[in-house]
Structure 1
């Protein structure tokens, strides 16, 4: 669940990863160095540049032609390279090279804050790992960071601040609704849970696509909670005798929850791990809320999730609730629960 104190735990770093990533690949573009963007200064541990690229570099230095919108759900929110060849892109005084698969990786990781390396795809469609060309190239440019997941062979992948800045600099203004991009690794004890959020999304997106719907954006739990906290404390400084407690009434809070299509019971608003906003074939905006559940969920917590009406994802199946909300920001209706199981 949400914790504002994100950060990379240096204890999770594996020094062998840096050694494995050097000198292993003759890629189709020159390396720009870890974290250095496209400056002319090279760090001492940067891999040797492949001189075969020098003759082709001026072509990639040219301004890229206007690109059609990317059909990929998250990449269409940014105007970045979409083809198989790497192109040079800039963010302020830094330059990077990206191809379409790397743009899609950045946008996907940013949308979900953290994604497992094995859930991403390399440029050839194969499952990614830290030795894959795309992930290695992004790490060498300082656009992503990775950390081990305790007990698993997978690695958690997150954007660095530089990666987030690059997406924001090249944000596409066309999408009707704004996709938020996040940076920074979550705390180690949260990674196993948070990596499941993207997997839950994949299951739900597949089902929606089969129905002819298409996803427009996703909203994570801490985005919803942040919106709530801003509203809750919006008038705290309006009174000289403010005592640290918001002055919103229970009725106001319940109304806010209804306006944002969130359940309110037991005197509090309940938030899903993931909200998917999508468009039906007839053009109607809808949303689906999903909670990732683990075997540790018991008792009152489990009962609360069941009462919330959220769809639930357990890692093996996804149970789809009949609860849905419209896209106009009004009160979402509740229909009788419909349980649907999708197995891997």
Structure 2
């Protein structure tokens, strides 16, 4: 099998696995909130991990561990108390659906390249602006620093879903709130984090024991925290190396799939995300015929819904065009020869459909 679905999840880094193992052993099960020696040792591991994750994020804030980036985004939006929110039209459902459920919502349009205008106008009284750093479906990199500055000038907080960009790109320095996920940067599933700028006041969603400085009650997993921290430390160390590898993979894949149409900007994007289409392509048939290649027909979070991607619709694609798109995701552990082999197989299968 050839895995090309890095936007859905990334392989667990060996360093993250090694960091988790002591906390899965017979004597590593202690509650990090317990006052005895084993509990204090577990808490120390959690705090080391917190520092490692914080090193990927701007100074002047704190890291709150959560069960996922989705939870982190809910905490940011609902916990802020904002009632008027502006979000990009191509945000993840964790932002769009949460904002729709509890706020008066303004959707900021994107152009055909999948980019929000850096001088976007916010409705009067907007209290929170949410724009993601890197889109999970088409990989476009948004002008988040410019948008954060405009939000601040308008008296609004700026929330950035940095799930796809953390550990790959510089952190959005102007943000007030940043949501990230361990399993998108070669860490374990089941843990995320919300970075909160100093001075930003949030109300908790989960009440109970008052853990995470009162913002997120519940017992933390030392194993998940340790794995998250180790993955973050490796990402910080390998950032340039990983980016160079991904750029080379992109060039190799585009060389094979040159006749396919690229969705989204070719320049303002993370090149580990290759979203392409061929008019008339039956993607379900392609997946069936190329079962040894793990790729996506769109966002993994929306797969099976039967609806065309809201992201592809927002950049102007028709329903038919959106349904003829595939997403290839690659990264640190992708082997160039395997990627080329997979792309060639996909192209041959598409040609056999007459596309």
> Is the pair's TM-score, using the shorter chain for normalization, greater than 0.5?
no
Identify the TM-score tier after normalising by the shorter chain. Answer: 0.3 to 0.5
TM-score, scaled relative to structure 2: 0.33
Larger Rg: 1
